[in-house]
A and B are shown apart, each in its own frame.
Chain A
Amino acid sequence: MNTFKKTIVTVLCSLLIIGNVYADKIKIGTEGAYPPWNSKDSSGKLIGFEVELANWLCIYMKADCTIVEQDWDGMIPALQMRKFDAIMAGMSITDERKKVITFSQGYADEVASLAVMKGSSLVGMDTPEGINLSLGGSDVKKALKTLTGSLAGKTVCTQTGTIHQNFLESGDVGSVNVRTYKTQDEVNLDLTSGRCDVALAAAVAFTDYAEKSGKQVVLVGPTFSGGAFGNGVGVGIRQASQFGEGSSLGDRDAKLLKDFNEAIDQARKSGKISELAIKWFGFDASM
Chain B
Amino acid sequence: MDFDLMFTSFPKLLGATVITLKLLSASLFFGLIIGLLFAILRLNKNIFINKFAYGYSYLFRGTPLLVQIFIIYFGLGQIEHLRSTFLWVILKEPYWCAIIAFTLNTGAYTSEILRSAFQTINPGIIEAGKSLGISNKIIFYKIQIPIAIRQSLPAYGNEIILMMKGTSLASTVTLMDLTGVAKYIISTTFKPIEVFIVAGGIYLFMTFIIHNVIKFLEKKYSFSQ
Contacts and interface: CB of A to CB of B under 8 A. Distances in A.
Contacts of B83: 193-194
Contacts, number: 42
Interface residues of A, number: 21
Given A179-B174, A182-B172, A194-B83, A73 B77 contact: no
Interface stretch (A74-82, A142-150, A248-256): A74-82
A239 to B, nearest CB: 12
B173 to A, nearest CB: 9
A125 interface: no
Contact of B92 (A74, A165, A194): A194
B188 interface: yes
Nearest to A181: B174
B208 interface: no
Interface in A170-195: 179-182, 186, 189-190, 192-195
Interface string A67-100: 0000001101100100000000000000010001
Q: Chain B CB within 10 Å — which of A76, A160, A180, A193 has the most?
A: A193
A161 interface: yes
A73 B183 contact: yes
B183 A160 contact: yes
B131 interface: no
B78 interface: yes
* B contact patch SS: helix
Given A181-B174, A189-B74, A194-B92, A80 B187 contact: no
Contacts of B174: 179-181, 190
Contacts of A181: 174
Contacts of B74: 186, 189-190, 193
A181 B183 CA distance: 11
B184 A180 contact: yes
A194 B184 CA distance: 24
A74 B78 contact: no
Contacts of A165: 187
B186 interface: yes
Contacts of A193: 74, 77-78, 83
B187 A190 contact: no
A165 B172 CA distance: 17
Given A73-B183, A179-B174, A195-B92, A190 B190 contact: no
8 contacts: A77-B192, A160-B183, A161-B188, A179-B94, A180-B174, A182-B172, A189-B77, A193-B83
Interface of B: 74, 77-78, 83, 92, 94, 172, 174, 183-184, 186-188, 190-192
Interface of A: 73-74, 76-77, 80, 96, 100, 160-161, 165, 179-182, 186, 189-190, 192-195
Query: 10 closest A-B pairs (Cβ-Cβ)?
Result: A161-B187, A193-B77, A76-B190, A179-B174, A77-B192, A100-B190, A160-B187, A189-B74, A77-B190, A195-B92
